[in-house]
């Protein structure tokens, strides 16, 4: 088995996706979130490949080394799911296990819900399966105010320019700004303030993040220049549109084996009450294998706790092999 990560590109649905790949065997797709890239899965490649899997992590549409469509409406959830389903075929596979973190989780959950014929199993990190419904941004305004980060991201160009002014600093601030400590809080920008005012430069990096890691992320983001973060921000600008497009699938369950992993100090916990989370997992993932809670862990799950996340994924993959045997 080749023990090095290989890099390539593939054309799907009019976009050019960069792929990082290692190993041979059944396909496992790893989908990153915001503001990350394939590199967020750096700790999972070798262990999963050594266990006998073909591990592929794309830079998703609009991110890092992948192409970035100009139009905001090219970043709907259906476009993103379409990229995943096309990628499975382009890689010569009939089915895949799909794993997603942060924004990658809704893409993974929705791919499994809509195309169970292509998905052997699905794992979501940080973000649970969420039902489609009307007006999610209005609900966010009512619950968290106009300064809630998802609302702040809606204005084209504003957050884009702030983040692109110093890419490395922006990544350092965001990745360190949700470090464990105290109760998780929603990300809210005070009235009249700027996004990065809420995440000051850290005095030191956490143990799980190095300057070399930041340089790796930043080098890929810099390929898009002033639009370094625009592709990822455009995902947020489709939130309400996604729910309109998904109304035909309200109530649809995810009928494949599932795994959910989240940190106990993840900011997502401040947005979804424990009883709501329990209800969502019960109602939307009837074949849930495990719900793994990681103590003293924030939002960047697979980076903060690589050994624990990898162990949970390997356990889930073993469970899937047992079901197919």
The single residue listed with the structure tokens 């862990």 is 297
59 counts as catalytic? no
What gap in Å lies between CA 241 and CA 37, rounded to an integer?
24
- Rounded distance between C-alpha atoms, residue 310 and residue 317, angstroms: 10
How big is the CA angle at 152 (ends 151 and 153), to the nearest 5 degrees?
90
Q: Provide the Cα torsion 107, 111, 112, 113; round to 10°.
A: 100
**Which residue in 32, 79, 101, 299 is the catalytic one?**
299
- Find the helix or strand (DSSP H, E) in which 233 lies: helix 230-236
Computed on alpha carbons and rounded to an integer, the radius of gyration of the chain in Å comes to 18
Distances (CA, A) of 36 to 39, 171, 279: 7, 9, 29
- Quick one: 181 exposed, middle or buried, by C-beta within 10 A (0-12, 13-18, 19+)? exposed
Residue of 102, 160, 213, 266 marked active site: 102
DSSP 289: E
Whether 166 is a known active-site residue: answer no
Q: Comparing C-alpha atoms, which of 81, 63, 92, 46 is closest to residue 224?
A: 63
Per the structure block, which two tokens stand in for 257?
A: 């084996």
Q: Show which residues are catalytic.
A: 102, 299
């Amino acid at each position: 088995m080749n023990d090095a990560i290989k890099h390539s590109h593939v054309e799907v649905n009019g976009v050019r996706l960069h792929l990082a790949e290692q190993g041979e065997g059944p396909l496992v797709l790893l989908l990153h979130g915001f503001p990350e890239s394939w590199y967020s899965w750096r700790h999972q490649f070798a262990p999963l490949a050594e266990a006998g899997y073909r591990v592929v992590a794309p830079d998703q549409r609009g991110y890092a080394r992948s192409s970035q469509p100009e139009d905001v409406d090219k970043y709907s959830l259906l476009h993103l799911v379409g990229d995943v389903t096309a990628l499975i075929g382009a890689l010569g596979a009939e089915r895949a296990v799909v794993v997603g973190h942060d924004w990658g989780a809704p893409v993974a959950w929705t791919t499994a819900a809509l195309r169970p014929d292509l998905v052997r199993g699905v794992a979501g990190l940080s973000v649970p399966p969420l039902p489609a419904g009307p007006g999610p941004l209005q609900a966010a305004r009512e619950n968290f105010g106009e300064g809630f980060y998802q609302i702040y991201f809606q204005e084209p160009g504003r957050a884009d320019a702030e983040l692109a002014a110093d890419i490395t600093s922006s990544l350092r601030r965001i990745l360190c700004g949700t470090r464990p400590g105290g109760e998780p809080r929603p990300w809210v920008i005070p009235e009249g303030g700027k996004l990065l005012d809420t995440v000051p430069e850290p005095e030191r990096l956490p143990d799980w993040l190095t300057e070399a890691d930041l340089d790796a992320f930043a080098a890929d983001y810099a390929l898009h220049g002033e639009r370094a973060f625009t592709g990822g921000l455009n995902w947020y600008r489709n939130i309400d549109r996604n729910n309109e497009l998904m109304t035909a699938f309200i109530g649809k369950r995810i009928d494949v084996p599932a795994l959910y992993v989240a940190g106990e100090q993840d900011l997502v916990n401040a947005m979804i009450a424990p009883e709501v989370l329990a209800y969502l997992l019960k109602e939307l993932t009837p074949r849930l294998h495990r719900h793994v809670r990681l103590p003293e862990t924030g939002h960047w799950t697979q980076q903060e706790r690589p050994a624990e996340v990898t162990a949970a994924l390997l356990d889930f993959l073993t469970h899937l092999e047992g079901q197919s045997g």
